[in-house]
Chains A and B, each alone.
Chain A
């Protein structure tokens, strides 16, 4: 199984940066690292993905360790709308994504 390990929950204050960690020690050399988030009663939403280099987009940044066994999703300024469950996934199942338990992020005003 493409297993990742994330903290069950994290808290953040509004307007502050948030660093969400993920361990993926079984990742192979060709697997991308994907991050999705899910708001209550909605389907997951793509956040970011990368292979080796750090990645930035309008939503977040992804910092990937040199050995690729871990990564960190960075939300630069958390807002109340960022409260969600964040899933880190690495894809070694032929295109299908297997979700772990994710991290439930709460954001305090």
Chain B
């Protein structure tokens, strides 16, 4: 079964509103989670690294004030798309690794959240 869960799986919102996407690790604690975005027919693009108890680390070109990340507990990270516009419509995917160390074990991905901004 799923070990990383995202909610909602689909969301439609009006332009200018904010949308929050949750990412939970179900049976393990994750001090670090990763947020990706994927446009149709393209690969996953890493947006940011979510760090429990501290600020997220954003990849170059990703606006931190646009994509707010909060990692308030060891099992939950949230991504808030603020003042969404149609160009923010995308498939957002989170992931977390069970265990310590960058090479130990697989990275578990959520089911993804499809955002459509009208």
Complex interface bits, A78-109 against B, C-beta within 8 A gives 1, otherwise 0: 00000000010001001111111110000000
Complex contacts, B111 vs chain A, CB 8 Å: 42-43
User: Is B12 an interface residue when CB atoms closer than 8 A count as contact?
Assistant: no
Task: Please determine whether A41 and B91 come into contact, CB atoms closer than 8 angstroms.
Answer: yes
Of B6, B91, B93, B106, the residue contacting A46 (CB under 8 A) is: B106
Task: Please determine whether A46 and B108 come into contact, CB atoms closer than 8 angstroms.
Answer: yes
Complex contacts, B46 vs chain A, CB 8 Å: 96-99
The 7 closest A-B pairs by CB, nearest first: A95-B102, A43-B109, A46-B106, A99-B44, A32-B103, A99-B43, A44-B109
Cα distance, A42 to B106, chains bound together (Å): 17
A-B contact count (CB 8 A): 57
Which of A38, A45, A94, A97 has the most CB atoms of chain B within a 10 A radius of its CB?
A: A97
Which of A31, A41, A100, A101 has the most CB atoms of chain B within a 10 A radius of its CB?
A: A41
Task: Please determine whether B106 and A95 come into contact, CB atoms closer than 8 angstroms.
Answer: no
Closest A-chain residue to B6, C-beta based? A43
Closest A-chain residue to B32, C-beta based? A95
A49 to chain B, nearest CB (A): 7
Complex contacts, B107 vs chain A, CB 8 Å: 34, 36, 46, 97
Complex interface bits, B50-77 against A, C-beta within 8 A gives 1, otherwise 0: 0000000000000000000000000000
